[in-house]
Amino acid sequence: MAKKQVNIDELISLIIKGIDDVKGENIQLLDLREIENTVCDYFIICSGNSNTQVNAISGSVQKVVSKELKDKPWHIEGQTNSEWVLMDYVNVVVHIFQKHVRDYYDIESLWGDAKITEINPV
């Protein structure tokens, strides 16, 4: 059975809502579509202050997206230690970091050619 096509703009909005619902911080959207050989179209990156908050953010994103779009991540990694949780929605990959881990890996610099948009939810 083929998976129904999800509207990517709606998916991004719902992911951001899920992050904001539990006070995820420093949300950035990286548009990777102009870069050759990328694994997806967008990264959404945010930070949490603790293992508990990182888990809460990933749970909130799953809940909001599932409720509105009846979609779930294709794959999730990092929930064991909750320092960096990666949620793969195929065209959109969500990175939820604890602040010190985000600073260490500095993904935004690694993807410096991407168009980066700072998200300030209301």
For the chain, what percent of residues have pLDDT higher than 70? 95
Residue ranges per domain, the chain? 8-119
pLDDT tens for 21-40 read 999 999 999 999 999 889 89
Confidence of residue 122 (pLDDT cuts 50, 70, 90): low
Of 6 and 77, which is predicted with more confidence?
77
Q: What is the CA radius of gyration of the chain?
A: 13
DSSP 81: T
Per-residue pLDDT at 3 exceeds 70: no
pLDDT tens for 43-56 read 999 999 999 999 99
- Distance separating alpha carbons of residues 10 and 102, to the nearest angstrom: 26
CATH topology of domain 8-119: Beta Polymerase; domain 2 (3.30.460)
